């Protein structure tokens, strides 16, 4: 899969821009504030129907305009699809695929698998557990056909049990919600655990290349004691959770930790630079796994992270990105910061004052 054409209108400082990315590597360079990150934001919007920089639609729409729109054409290897996302004032989002209105963003994610690495990506390790759950669930969405339906059913059972805990559902229905929650929760946890086991060797290999040291272990914590069935924990906790009105055990409380050979949590023991490269290894491992098991290429958005690395680390990172087989769109303030030699072909664009110009 690859994004073969992209257009944007009225997104922040990009009044209108249109370009065709390389299926391999595309470099967008220019001074700070020129619109490079906004281009990546637009591509992310195309694949996810949301921004990675803000949840406020009004910040996306260019001053004086009422909508921000992105268009793209994706080649899956079997067919081409036209994707479109429009953000309107009032937090309205319109999604279209081949001109047909779509109700959810999942169809976009399926056609344009995206990974994002930014200077703030270290928060995957340092941030809230929900970020790491999202990391695992992204991978499962793309490789397990049953995952999305299972996840939705689990969330419905969770909402019903929480409502019952707060007394808004007849108490006699509690056992029904708990059994459904437990069945879905056990299956969801098993999926996540298996996924982490399968990407762990890929992560370790990439980590060792990038940091030239032994990789930490990926430890999955499922969200309830490992020596108990989820249904047992739900029944045991019922009385105490009536006070809080919230289910405190289950996959919605799961986490993923990186633990060194010394037993230290990487979130606490790694330097900022190590954390960022560890996150790069996590993202690249996911892309490589998707390529291996499903034959599907990702599009990687890499925003200005290379500027924070020394020349050797930049070289190792770019080699690893090339080896992943992913399409990559990368930004930099200086085109000479990045070595594009690992790729046979590259597209280079200069971005300044919201104008994207191809450099021949």
- The CATH number fitting domain 1-113+298-313+324-360, selected from 3.40.50.2020, 3.40.50.300, 3.60.15.10, 1.10.20.140: 3.40.50.300
User: For all residues of the chain together, what is the average pLDDT?
Assistant: 93
- The answer, yes or no, to whether residue 216 has pLDDT greater than 80, is yes
Q: Structure pTM?
A: 0.93
* Residue whose entry in the numeric block shows the structure tokens 């992209």: 6
End-to-end CA distance of the chain: 25
Q: What is the pLDDT of residues 239-269, one digit of tens each?
A: 899 999 999 999 999 999 999 999 999 999 9
Q: Is 22 left (phi over 0), alpha (psi -120 to 50) or beta?
A: beta
Query: Is the domain 121-296 a CATH 1.20.1260.10 member?
Result: no
What is the pLDDT at residue 170?
Answer: 67
Q: What is the pLDDT of residues 305-357, one digit of tens each?
A: 777 788 899 999 999 999 988 999 999 999 888 889 899 899 999 999 999 99
Boundaries of every domain in the chain: 1-113+298-313+324-360, 121-296
What is the average pLDDT across 150-178? 88
User: Do residues 6 and 20 lie in contact, with contact meaning Cβ atoms separated by under 8 Å?
Assistant: yes
- The answer, yes or no, to whether residue 174 has pLDDT greater than 90, is no
- Which positions ≥6 away from 116 have C-beta within 8 Å? 40, 44, 52, 283, 300, 301, 303
Q: Which of 300, 309, 301 is nearest to 276 (CA)?
A: 309
């Amino acid at each position: 899969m690859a994004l073969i054409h992209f257009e944007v209108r009225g997104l922040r400082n990009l009044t209108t821009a249109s370009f065709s990315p390389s299926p391999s590597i595309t470099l967008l360079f220019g001074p700070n504030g020129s619109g490079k990150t906004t281009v990546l934001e637009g591509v992310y919007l195309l694949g996810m129907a949301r921004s990675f920089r803000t949840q406020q639609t009004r910040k996306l729409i260019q001053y004086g305009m009422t909508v921000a729109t992105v268009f793209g054409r994706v080649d899956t290897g079997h067919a081409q699809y036209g994707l479109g996302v429009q953000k309107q004032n009032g937090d309205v989002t319109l999604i279209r695929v081949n001109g047909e209105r779509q109700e959810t963003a999942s169809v976009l994610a399926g056609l344009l698998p995206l990974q994002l690495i930014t200077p703030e990506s270290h928060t995957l390790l340092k941030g809230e557990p929900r970020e790491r759950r999202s990391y695992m669930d992204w991978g499962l969405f793309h490789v397990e056909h049953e995952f999305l339906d299972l996840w939705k059913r689990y969330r419905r059972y969770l909402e019903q049990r929480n409502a019952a805990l707060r007394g808004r559902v007849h108490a006699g229905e509690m056992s029904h919600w708990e059994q459904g929650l437990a069945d879905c929760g056990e299956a969801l946890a098993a999926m996540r655990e298996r996924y982490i086991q399968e990407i762990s060797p890929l992560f370790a290999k990439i980590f060792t290349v990038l940091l030239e040291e032994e990789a930490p272990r990926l430890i999955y914590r499922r969200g309830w004691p490992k020596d108990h069935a989820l249904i047992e924990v739900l029944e045991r906790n019922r009385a105490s959770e009536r006070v809080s009105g919230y289910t405190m055990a289950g996959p919605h409380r799961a986490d993923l930790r990186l633990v060194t050979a010394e037993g230290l949590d990487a979130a606490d023991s790694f330097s900022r630079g190590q954390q960022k490269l560890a996150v790069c290894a996590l993202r690249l491992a996911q892309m490589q796994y998707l390529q291996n098991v499903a034959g599907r290429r990702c599009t990687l958005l890499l925003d200005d992270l290379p500027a924070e690395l020394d020349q050797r680390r930049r070289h190792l990172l770019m080699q690893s990105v090339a080896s992943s087989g992913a399409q990559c769109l990368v930004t930099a303030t200086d085109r000479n910061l990045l070595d594009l030699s690992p790729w046979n072909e590259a597209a280079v664009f200069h971005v300044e004052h919201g104008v994207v110009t191809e450099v021949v």
